[in-house]
Chain A
Amino acid sequence: MLLANHPLLGKTIAGDKTSSLTIRAAEDVARFSLRIDPASAQSAGAAFGTPLPTRIGGLVENGGRTALQLGPDEWVLLAPVAESDAIAEAFAALQEPHSLVDIGHREVGILVEGEAAALALRSAIAFDVEAMPVGSGCRTIFDKAQIVLIREDNNRFRIEVWRSFADHVWGLLQAVSREIALGI
């Protein structure tokens, strides 16, 4: 995988101990962009091995495979790298018209964890991050970069960002975690 060479891989921003903010590059995953008529979402879920969420922002996680609905007919699918080929084959056998695009090399995952996670994200995201339900996700803007934000748990978020924007997002998170550590 191309990501094996990404400069962020293996890096961590260790935040302040009291707020226990940790930001690290996520392990590589397989990523697909799926476009399909929502009426066929059920058979697409069968092909993916995990039912697809049925409302925008909905997130379904099952056995390491994650499906997030981004738009009326658009989903992003995440899975362990080793399962990438099997997923592509399963969708190739799907009769309903659809488009499945491997975007595994396009993005980098960044995990933001700890009590100050929402605070750190709030610095560059214009909507109410605290109010975002656990187990949901959306496409949005982080500073000037488009990202997909997933709230995995109360204090754990995942950012999916295009490789070329990743350094920008990382740099901002670095600065923010420093501010949080210093209490300013």
Chain B
Amino acid sequence: MLLIRCPYCEAERPELEFTYAGEAHIARPADPSALSDDEWRDFLFIRTNPRGRHFERWRHMHGCGRFFNAVRDTVTDKFAMTYKAGAPRPSDEEIALAASSVKEARP
């Protein structure tokens, strides 16, 4: 089972307590009525679906109840880092740093 670090609980908790909630950093259009049907379709349904690094939302459903964001590799299923909802998308350096500190923490 995966252990996922909740940035609110500041603890690694079992995957069982979490639910996946789709791709992160998708901003709702400021003026929805100005969108064409195609743009509205893209907002609602079209996702990047990458092979590799993915920014995604998770919810600590059976814990603190909060939504947060995670960086996960869709090939290896490894979490590089998690961060609070509302925080900006982390840079490559921040992700590399977070991933290496996780490795050090584990014996």
Contact = CB atoms under 8 A, between A and B. Distances in A.
A138 B63 contact: yes
Contact of B66 (A71, A127, A141, A146): A71
B62 A139 contact: yes
Nearest to B12: A127
B65 A74 contact: yes
Contact of A141 (B9, B10, B11, B17): B17
Interface size class of A (residues with CB under 8 A): 10 to 19
A58 to B, nearest CB: 11
Contact of A70 (B1, B17, B64): B64
Given A127-B13, A127-B14, A141-B62, 5 more contacts: A55-B10, A56-B64, A140-B13, A140-B62, A141-B14
25 contacts: A55-B10, A56-B8, A56-B64, A57-B9, A70-B64, A71-B8, A71-B64, A71-B65, A71-B66, A72-B66, A74-B65, A126-B14, A126-B16, A127-B3, A127-B12, A127-B14, A138-B9, A139-B17, A139-B64, A139-B65, A140-B17, A140-B62, A141-B16, A141-B62, A146-B62
